[in-house]
Amino acid sequence: MGSEMVMVDGIAFPPEIAAAKPLALLGHGINDIEIHFLQIKFTAIGVYLEKEVVKHLVKWKGKKGSELKVDEEFFETLVSAPVGKLLRIVVIKEIKGSQYGTQLESAVRDRLAAVDKYEEEEEESLEKVVEFFQSKYFKKESVITMNFPTAPQTAEASTSPAEGPNLITFATEGKEEAKIQVGNANVAEMIQKWYLGGTSAISPTTVESLAENLAQLLSQ
């Protein structure tokens, strides 16, 4: 893959991110939103995974990317695979963080409700995430990082062992980096599915790229 930056709509993504086990950029794309009947490019997305994710996907060895991108079971297995995952989301079109928070809230709540997992704990956890974004302003090139490590605790997560390992970070120019833990595993899973959920995911271009790259890794 080399160490050259990967350009996604003019935004640079490193091909690898250092973690307990290196995370490789295995999918990228953009997310459009509709504003006043116009499709606006909103964010560029990079999906980073441990390469050993393929060990959990051997059932799909020999499949083409075009087949994988519409295979719901494939993406279910990908999300549940016990490997580190990181989403790097870079803002292209500036908006209020509350608009993003509202999108995230309805996407996650609907997914939880569909599988009968939207209980009080999930509601509270999701509310905290939505509140985290309420006060933010998404300037162009602000970065949201969603880190879903496998270990029960990571060095960067927090000094408090009581808190969960799933971490959302928001970085924007001129402000200190802000972080929030996602303590509820069901909420963390559905945030992942919002981005990695196959045909129902927020960015078809990202899913297609992920399917093509994983098909290639599986064919090796």
Residue 69 lies in a domain: no
Residue 25 lies in a domain: yes
**CA 205/CA 45 separation, integer angstroms:** 9
Residue 10 lies in a domain: yes
Whichever domain contains 123, its CATH number is 3.50.70.10
Tens digit of each residue's pLDDT (9 = 90 or more) over 115-172: 999 999 999 999 999 999 999 999 999 999 999 988 544 334 333 333 347 999 999 9
pLDDT value of residue 191: 96
Whole domain around residue 187: which residue ranges?
A: 6-49+84-155+166-196
Domains: count for the chain: 1
Tens digit of each residue's pLDDT (9 = 90 or more) over 89-99: 999 999 899 99
Residue 202 lies in a domain: no
Residue among 189, 174, 187, 191 at smallest CA distance from 136: 174
Residue 54 lies in a domain: no
pTM of the model as a whole: 0.90
Helices 204-218 and 185-196 cross at an angle (nearest 10°) of 90
Residue 75 lies in a domain: no
Residue 22 lies in a domain: yes
Residue 209 lies in a domain: no
Inform me whether the pLDDT recorded for 35 exceeds 80.
no
